[in-house]
Amino acid sequence: MREYVVHEVIRRTLITDADQEVVSGKTRLTYAQLYGRVLRLANSLKELGIGKGTVVGVLDVNTHRFFELHYALSMLGAVLHTINFRLPPEHLVYSMIHAGDEWIFVSDTFMKAAAPLTGKFPKWVIMSDDPDYPLPEVEQAYRYEELVAGGDEKELPEADQIHDSDIFSIFYTTGTTGKPKGIRYAHREILLGALQLFHHLALHSSGAHAGAEDVIMPLIPFFHIHAWGVAFFPAYTGAKLVLPGAADPATQVKLIKEEGVTWMNMVPTQLHMLLDQPGFSNVKVLTGGSPLTSGLAKRAAERGVKFSLIYGGSDQLGTSISVAPRGVDPNSEEALEWLRAGMKLLPMVEVSIRDEEGNEVPHDGKTIGSVWTRSPWLPEGYYKEPDLTRESYVDGWFRTGDLGFFYPNGMLYVAGRQGYAVKSGGEWIPTGMLEAVLSEHPMVELVAVIPMPNERWGQRPMAVIKPKGDVTEDDLRQFMLGKISEGKIAKFWIPDKFVFVEDIPLTSAGKLNKAELQKRYL
């Protein structure tokens, strides 16, 4: 590579794996064909005045067009804003204005919903398979495929002037605790974080091991950390890439069979839905975003699904991924528990567990503290938010706002967000562990544990349960009492209150929405 920049990744693929496929809906392209489209698109966008520093917002599901835009915009030095289409409308518009979007690229899937925004943003590109899809009445509007068809298929001199310190992308947190926060990543940071994640998966044979021979299908959207790096590492290794678009779980299972998919990423709620499909089995899954419950882990293992849990976030990228420790049989019950809950730090990542005074706590497998992390790809802070940056980014460390502890063997357990944890009588109760135990009950489909105020103890746990069938509070109490003898929980962890609901709300990232539950029930 001349510089550690995004478009050099796909340029290299032409040498090593030009004939490998990228599949997106009815479109099937080799990397060579896709690179030709990227060049033509980049040349057309240059003619429109898109260049270094231009912020381009993209509103799309995981398609070949969104994938192409990563590389075309990189060649021009433009900044890619991956718009989170799951944000509430007011937060979505806020992120577009805050990021400074100058152009909006939108798929026809979202055009009807996005139409009211045409008065705020004057330059649009519509992405559609329909060559006659109507254009919005704005200052400038174009069809994506016409730009691809009309561009010159030639290398851009600008591509060799992009530096790894230039900003490549901006994306936003989910905004569950306030307005979304923007994080900008330079080329070097986003590639280091994404490819280090892949290297970790390639180094360890257990769980969601990944390699160049895998067929990769991301269910994590590109708007979320570029699908956890999947916008880059299939091209980096020359792996076949399958982009599912807006496919539902049944269609996803069909794609797995037809395209030979072997590796996927998804949040636990998506894994839950796929396991409800009769044909889903024998793939490798990287999951994260919320704790993986014991019940869900066992269901996955029974289907031959090999999984790993990842910990990280928009404001830190990847930090750790679960593997089976050395000396543990990868097919054993012990390995299953480590893969569900014990994460190994990525190379070059440091994590510190600290008490409320900022002091390190013992690595004894039980002392819970606040998780701090640092790495070579940690960003400088939140975009245009100096006060929030000073609170969270301290002396090169990022204060994650999560609670966790280290096992004596160096594995990390993340117990959940500090704001949703329970501190009872001065002792932390890890809600993720409670959720994992409750999920093992055969009549529990989903569970979220939240803190409720208590005059004597400060806080006590409340369990919100979506049941599968008939189950009572007494049934669950007796079940949890049985887990005390197994050493999985302490007696004082058992919730004081159980609430049974028809459904549990999720955030825009597919996590249990504990903020909403606290509003409803507290």
The predicted model gives 55-65 an average pLDDT of 98
Give the pLDDT confidence score for residue 454 in this predicted structure: 87
Whether 264 and 247 have beta carbons less than 8 Å apart is answered as no
Phi, psi angles (nearest 5°) of residue 91: -75, -35
Give the pLDDT confidence score for residue 175 in this predicted structure: 64
| CA separation for the pair 67, 334 (Å, rounded) | 39
pLDDT band of 40, cuts 50, 70, 90: very high
Give the pLDDT confidence score for residue 1 in this predicted structure: 57
The distance from CA 289 to its chain's CA centroid, rounded to whole angstroms, is 7
Asked whether the predicted pLDDT for residue 419 surpasses 90, the reply is no
| CA separation for the pair 265, 54 (Å, rounded) | 30
DSSP 118: G
pLDDT band of 506, cuts 50, 70, 90: confident
Give the pLDDT confidence score for residue 283 in this predicted structure: 98
Write down the mean pLDDT value for the chain.
93
For the stretch 466-484, pLDDT in tens is: 999 899 999 999 999 988 8
Domain boundaries, the chain: 6-311, 421-522
The predicted model gives 389-410 an average pLDDT of 94
Range with lowest mean pLDDT among 19-23, 51-55, 292-296, 451-455: 292-296
What letter represents residue 264's amino acid?
A: M
pLDDT band of 417, cuts 50, 70, 90: confident
Q: Which fold has domain 421-522?
A: GMP Synthetase; Chain A, domain 3 (3.30.300)
Phi, psi angles (nearest 5°) of residue 497: -140, 140
For the stretch 332-353, pLDDT in tens is: 989 998 999 899 999 999 999 9
The predicted model gives 422-451 an average pLDDT of 87
For the stretch 348-362, pLDDT in tens is: 999 999 988 889 999
Look-up of token digits 């929405």 = 513
For the stretch 478-505, pLDDT in tens is: 999 988 877 778 888 999 999 999 999 8
Homologous superfamily of the 6-311 domain (CATH): ANL, N-terminal domain (3.40.50.12780)
Predicted TM-score (pTM) of this structure:
0.88
| CA separation for the pair 12, 232 (Å, rounded) | 12
Q: Which residue has the higher pLDDT, 486 or 135?
A: 135
pLDDT band of 17, cuts 50, 70, 90: very high
Of 103, 95, 229, nearest in space to 170 by CA: 95
Give the pLDDT confidence score for residue 269 in this predicted structure: 84
Q: Is beta strand 21-24 parallel, antiparallel or unpaired with respect to 240-243? A: parallel
Task: Give the list of residues 6+ apart from residue 342 with CB closer than 8 angstroms, or none.
Answer: 322, 325, 407, 411, 412, 413
The distance from CA 485 to its chain's CA centroid, rounded to whole angstroms, is 36
Give the pLDDT confidence score for residue 176 in this predicted structure: 58
The helix-helix angle for 268-275 and 294-302 (nearest 10°) equals: 40
For the stretch 154-193, pLDDT in tens is: 999 999 999 999 999 999 997 655 789 999 999 999 999 9
Asked whether the predicted pLDDT for residue 257 surpasses 70, the reply is yes
Give the pLDDT confidence score for residue 184 in this predicted structure: 98
Q: In which region does residue 12 sit, left (phi positive, over 0), alpha (psi from -120 to 50) or beta (all else)?
A: alpha
Give the pLDDT confidence score for residue 163 in this predicted structure: 97
Question: Residue 172: how many CB atoms within 10 A of its CB?
Answer: 28
| CA separation for the pair 147, 349 (Å, rounded) | 42
